[in-house]
Amino acid sequence: MKRIMLLLTIFGAVLASSCEGPPGFDGIQGPPGPSGPSGSASEVFELRNVNFSLNANNEYTIYRQLNPVILLSDNILIYRLSGTIDPQTPIWQLIPRTLYLQQGELDYDFDFSLEDFTIYAGGTYNLATTPSYLNNQTFRIVILQGYLSNKKGGVAIEDYNAVMAAYHIDASHIKSIK
């Protein structure tokens, strides 16, 4: 008798736990997740045809403020347009970058904070003798949100197109800054 009661109790518990009631009401819409205008969490800005300026420290620089400012965990990659294969196929080089020219070495580098970034040009010779490397330069600034920054282990960040694909950045939403 005890065994029959035990089996009926187990059967009843299994039967009761497998029942399902009517679905509840949908909750309110939550806030949007992190995403830029292209649906990705990263953004790209372009500085087109800008010139380096010689500052008081005898350094060639391009300085811009970020608006809006970035988060402490965000990261920035900067690429320089080094040429084109054809009008639709630009060649982007990740900086920092050293170019070995006939006159000597030319280095492009950058730093950034939450509020701004500076691109530097320096070298082992008088850079004024090669104005084509200082004037009418084009750069792309890729801002990667902090939670994506650690993803770059599987992405060849030297390859601008690979970065754009890996972070799902739509090239049609690149913003131009002056």
Sign of CA dihedral 174, 121, 66, 64: negative
- Hey, is 2 helix, strand or coil? helix
**Closest by Cα among 127, 130, 6, 110 to 61:** 110
Residue-level pLDDT at 71: 87
Higher pLDDT, 7 or 133: 133
**Closest by Cα among 87, 152, 145 to 114:** 145
Q: What are phi and psi of 110, to 5 degrees?
A: -155, 160
**Closest by Cα among 130, 123, 122 to 62:** 122
Strand boundaries in 30-103, DSSP class E: 43-50, 53-54, 60-65, 75-86, 89-95, 97-101
Q: Could you check whether the bond before residue 87 is cis, i.e. omega within 30 degrees of 0?
A: no
Higher pLDDT, 27 or 94: 94
Q: How confident is residue 36, by pLDDT bands cut at 50, 70 and 90?
A: very low
Give me the mean pLDDT over the 104-109 stretch: 97
CB atoms within 10 A of CB 117: 21
Q: How confident is residue 169, by pLDDT bands cut at 50, 70 and 90?
A: confident
Residue-level pLDDT at 91: 94
Number of helical H runs and strand E runs in the chain: 3, 10
Residue 120 has pLDDT above 70, yes or no: yes
Sign of CA dihedral 124, 125, 127, 131: negative
Sign of CA dihedral 122, 51, 80, 145: positive
- Looking at the whole model, is its pTM more than 0.75? no
